[in-house]
A and B are shown apart, each in its own frame.
Chain A
Amino acid sequence: MAVQSEPVRVNSPGRSGAQQPPKSRRPAAGPSLLSRIAPYLLLLPAIVATLALLGWPLVKTVLLSFQNLNRRQLVQHTTEWNGFDNYKQLLTSAEFWHTTGRSIAFTAVNVVLIMVGGTLVGLLLNRLGSKMRLFLQIGLVLAWAMPIVAQTTVFTWLFDSRYGVVNWFLNQLGWHSMATYNWYSSQLSTFFVIVLLIVWGSIPFVAFNMYAALTTIPNELYEAARLDGAGSVKIFTKVVFPSLKPFFLGTTFLEVIWVFKCFTQVLAINNGGPERLTETLPVYAYIEGSGNSHYGMGSAIAVLTILMLAVLMAYYFRIILKQEDEL
């Protein structure tokens, strides 16, 4: 049911182990020229699309990052190379490093909350009876299916200072100072709304994946563990987690990328404010690039963002590539 990043790879070590011996066996047709180029033919459309539609803009972005490209150059179609100026300016600016640190912390907080929350909800789904499961799944799907632009408008409305239902609710609970609280007045409370929005919108994906992955764990494993007298915590650490390691790796990988790149929610909730204190790297790149029309600078921030993400992800790349060897 769920979008699975690494579905059912659980069993793959065993299975691929079993298939090691007939390694040399070829498809019935034999090693004809066609079967040797077949994989390349199959990949051709994907390669062409990636080169043309992603590679080209990416190379262009890198090139632009070495240019002084503002409105004038864009309008007049002129190219002014300025070497490493953009990078020098960025890497020596405190603002850039603050934003970077903030982005990393922001990603870490979100991903931890999403993964823990999603895992717990997934475990709950697995535990519920079929009717309650469907009921909760409907709730999750509603949140998941909400278009991001609609999500942000709804959250802005929920947290509206005068007529927002959140403030009303807190006031009812007896927290009267919150009756007309302005959530966007401080960095922390603005981040609270943004994080809540992202976590709310992201948990369903993880929960569904988790649940789907859980259904692939053979019941015998649980039973064996229970016979050994393991409690739920132990079952999770000894049975579930090891079986689902690929799932956790794959999903965390995607969530880190998605949250780090997350743009619409951060920009739409409070435009990176107050006082630019909730700007993350993509928002910073957007405000410098598109907003202030310093496209070369914006491209340099984009390139640095990609590099940073690649460094953050290097560990994952290695693990996942290692798994590829086992295929």
Chain B
Amino acid sequence: MKRQLIAAVGVAAMVVGVAACGSSGKSGDSAGKPANYNGKTVTAWLMDGSAPQAWQDGVKADFATQFPGAKLNIQIQKWDGVGAKITTGLSDNSVDVLEVGNTQTAGYASTGGLMDLTSAKADLGGSDWAANLNASSVLDGKQYAAPWYFSNRVVIYNKALWTKAGITGTPKTLDEFYADLDKLKATQGVSQPIYLPGQEWYTYFGLIAGEGGQIAKQNGSAWAGNLESAEAKDAFGTYTKLQSYSTAPKDKDEATPPQTDVFSKGDVGAMIGLGWEAPAAKDMPADNVGYFPLPGKTADKPSGVFLGGSNLAVAQDTKNPDLAKGLLKIMLSDKYESMMASSGLIPNKTSLNSLATTPFAQAAIAASANGATTPNLANWTSVENPPSPIKEFMTAVLQGADYDSTAKKYDDQITTLLGQKQ
């Protein structure tokens, strides 16, 4: 899902984290064994920006107590070339425990590089994991990873500008939202009512889900692109309408330029983004930033959203499977999941949702009710890899290409990518 994440969540996370001490004190698995782990090292790869420093420090400390003598080496990997890094990392045995994006997990699981954790699931706390969050960790009935944290996009808006435009309250339907955007457009000092680049396919994906559609559909055992479907077309109508309020480039995604930077300048009415994309306090006071779920066509439910997130997995070839699983257990424990929740992310257990009290998290959790994830397919990664056919499709249609024929063209590409031999 994301490129770089939450950076400013450390402090809050630590406070809550210490208070919410969970079950990690004693692990049933390792308690009975002689505690000699001298000279053993576990390497964990986390992505740049995923885990707050306090979270890492806490995990390290707990690991040291629980496995005396063993060394935990947490390496933060940059997003550049992440696919090549993980694939080769699994191949050359340079990682034991790793963070994997939820849309990518099936792909790595199908390589045989991830350890089957089915038998360890209960010990890891798996009985309480939210079923929809756990779905991406499972392939062919086997548990290849464990859900770590999730998030979804909401509308992030500039309260001052909204007040200036004379808007009171947040919209409950898309039509109300359009009306608000029209008001913003007419307001002085607003450069664009909403910032929405042409290739923000996560939002488009959410809209398709909201229409009850699928971005790819199953035909027997094969999968095919489904942009031609009526639902996808309707959803794209909504996207086009929203995008027409933006002067953002039609051929870029939300990361180039980072929409945070654009929004932070203070003259943009709103954007659709994740919690960590909210402006830093030095750029915009936190109480000027509001959040609400992207409304649906009717007031009874918000629009659909793409449910992104990360899972944690153990490499099949790890030399210290017990230590790796032990580490996983610590990382997934309520103590550390609470830290993730209090920083505004959705934790793996519904029971911890109440800790996610940031304004962003409240909007996000409301929206996540209507959340969906990409099909759990080994080849799905290829669809997301640049050049992604979905993104190119969006740009083409936004720039005036005919919907149906363009959709057909890119559906064919998606079908080919999904059907490629492994």
Contact = CB atoms under 8 A, between A and B. Distances in A.
A271 B387 contact: yes
Interface in B364-422: 381-382, 385-387, 392, 395-396, 399, 417, 420-422
Contact of A74 (B88, B386, B387): B88
A234 interface: no
Contacts of A293: 83, 87, 381-382
B304 interface: no
B90 interface: yes
A72 interface: yes
Given A74-B87, A161-B249, A274 B385 contact: no
A182 B396 CA distance: 15
A72 B420 CA distance: 13
A272 to B, nearest CB: 6
Contact of B251 (A72, A273, A287): A273
B83, B84, B251, B382 — most chain A CB neighbours (10 Å): B251
A292 B385 contact: yes
Contacts of A72: 110-112, 422
A273 B392 contact: yes
Contacts of A171: none
A281 B342 CA distance: 48
A247 interface: no
Interface in B311-326: 316
B41 to A, nearest CB: 21
A272 B385 CA distance: 13
A185 interface: yes
B102 to A, nearest CB: 17
Contacts of A161: 249
B240 interface: no
A150 interface: no
B197 to A, nearest CB: 12
A133 interface: no
B91 A77 contact: yes
B387 A75 contact: no
Contacts of A71: 87, 107-108, 110-111, 113, 422
Nearest to A182: B249
Interface residues of A, number: 24
A290 B81 CA distance: 9
Contacts of B110: 71-72
Contacts of A76: 111-113
A184 B251 contact: yes
A70 B249 contact: no
A292 B380 CA distance: 10
Contacts of B316: 75
A164 to B, nearest CB: 12
A68 interface: yes
Interface string A80-112: 000000000000000000000000000000000
A242 interface: no
A291 B83 contact: yes
Contacts of B417: 292
B363 to A, nearest CB: 30
Interface string A274-314: 11100000000001001111100000000000000000000
Given A182-B249, A273-B387, A274-B392, A75 B112 contact: yes
B387 A276 contact: yes
B107 A291 contact: no
Contact of A275 (B108, B381, B392): B392
Nearest to A297: B420
B40 to A, nearest CB: 23
Contacts of B87: 71, 74-75, 293
A75 B421 contact: no
Nearest to A294: B420
Interface in A254-274: 271-274
B251 A182 contact: yes
Contacts of A185: 250-251, 399
B263 to A, nearest CB: 15
B251 A75 contact: no
B138 to A, nearest CB: 18
Given A72-B110, A75-B112, A292-B382, A275 B396 contact: yes
Contact of A70 (B81, B250, B421): B421
Given A182-B251, A290-B84, A293-B87, A272 B420 contact: no
A65 B290 CA distance: 54
A272 B387 contact: yes
B111 A75 contact: yes
B247 to A, nearest CB: 9
Nearest to A156: B256
A71, A76, A184, A272 — most chain B CB neighbours (10 Å): A71
Interface of A: 68, 70-72, 74-77, 161, 182, 184-185, 271-276, 287, 290-294
27 contacts: A70-B421, A70-B422, A71-B87, A71-B107, A71-B108, A71-B113, A71-B422, A72-B110, A74-B88, A75-B112, A75-B113, A76-B112, A184-B251, A185-B251, A274-B251, A274-B395, A275-B395, A287-B385, A287-B386, A290-B83, A290-B84, A291-B385, A291-B386, A292-B420, A293-B83, A293-B87, A293-B381
Interface of B: 81, 83-84, 87-88, 90-91, 107-108, 110-113, 249-251, 316, 381-382, 385-387, 392, 395-396, 399, 417, 420-422
Given A71-B422, A75-B90, 14 more contacts: A70-B422, A72-B112, A74-B87, A74-B91, A75-B113, A76-B112, A76-B113, A182-B249, A185-B399, A275-B392, A287-B385, A291-B83, A292-B420, A293-B87
What 7 A-B pairs are tightest by C-beta distance, nearest first?
A75-B113, A75-B111, A72-B111, A71-B111, A75-B90, A75-B91, A292-B382
